[in-house]
Amino acid sequence: MSSAPGSRKPGPPAQPLAAPTGVNHGLQVTVFTLLFGVAIPLMALHEMVTQGWESRLVLIGAALLAGPPAWIFLLESRFRITVSGRGVEARSLVGERRFLPWKAIRRVEFGAITRTLILYTGEGDSGVTLRVSLLRRGVESLGRAIPHYLADDVYAEAWNEMFAPPRR
């Protein structure tokens, strides 16, 4: 990690974590997921069965357009993520546990389409993989911890892609 003038890397400043921090979705995402991922598709299905599909195209269209993003949120939010000085831990609601110690993380990628940070412990497809959505609350603690705990070559490409100035 260089400290030469003008060599500051883009992104949040590197800081060690004082205490474990939860990186989780807020109430807005939960409500969006339940409304657009469950309620509207069920309403559309009910209307199709009882009224016929011709008269309910708007509701069916809303279910088809908003349903997939809501299901992605639902699948992604099943993990409760905690960032600490030891590493990144994810626990699912059904008991599945993934722990990535800082020393084991070999690569960090940025998923531009899904706006996620992808942490890998192995090369290629081996090892443990964890996707962390940038829409989660508390994600800034992960952003500050990555430059502090990981070597520059592990995360530099993802940081440059995330914090690069917009293309014109």
- Residue 88 and residue 65 share a domain: no
86 within domain boundaries: yes
Mean pLDDT of 8-34: 65
Three-state DSSP at 100 gives strand
Count the Cβ atoms, other than its own, within 10 Å of residue 96.
10
Q: Looking at the structure, do residues 98 and 159 belong to the same domain, yes or no?
A: yes
Q: How confident is the model at residue 18 (pLDDT cuts 50, 70, 90)?
A: low
Whether 67 and 89 share a structural domain: no
Total domains present in the chain: 2
Confidence of residue 10 (pLDDT cuts 50, 70, 90): low
Task: Tell me what pLDDT residue 74 has.
Answer: 67
The predicted structure's pLDDT at residue 101: 92
Rounded percentage of the chain residues whose pLDDT exceeds 70: 68
Closest to 18 measured CA to CA, from 84, 109, 116: 84
Task: Specify if 1 maps to a domain.
Answer: no
Alpha-carbon gap, residue 3 to 87, rounded angstroms: 25
Residue 109, Cβ density class (10 Å: 0-12 exposed, 13-18 middle, ≥19 buried): middle
Query: Does 86 lie in the same domain as 70?
Result: no
In single-letter form, the type of residue at position 132 comes to V
Mean pLDDT over 6-15 rounds to 58
* Domain limits for position 55: 27-75
- Give domain status of residue 32, yes or no: yes
Residue 106's pLDDT is: 92
Domain co-membership, 146 together with 159:
yes
Please say if the pLDDT value at position 50 is more than 70.
Answer: yes
Instruction: Report the mean per-residue pLDDT for the chain.
Output: 76
Q: Are residues 83 and 159 in the same domain?
A: yes
The reported pLDDT for the residue numbered 104 is 92
Amino acid at the residue 26: G
Residues 66 and 139 in one domain: no
Residues 60 and 94 both lie in one domain:
no
Which residues make beta-bridge pairs with 87?
101
For 108, list phi and psi in degrees, rounded to 5.
Answer: -125, 130
On whether both 60 and 129 belong to a single domain, the answer is no
Residues 95 and 131 in one domain: yes
User: Which one of 75, 103, 136 terminates a domain?
Assistant: 75
The CA distance from 122 to 101, in Å, is 12
90 shares a domain with 117: yes
Handedness of CA 94, 95, 100, 101 (dihedral sign): positive
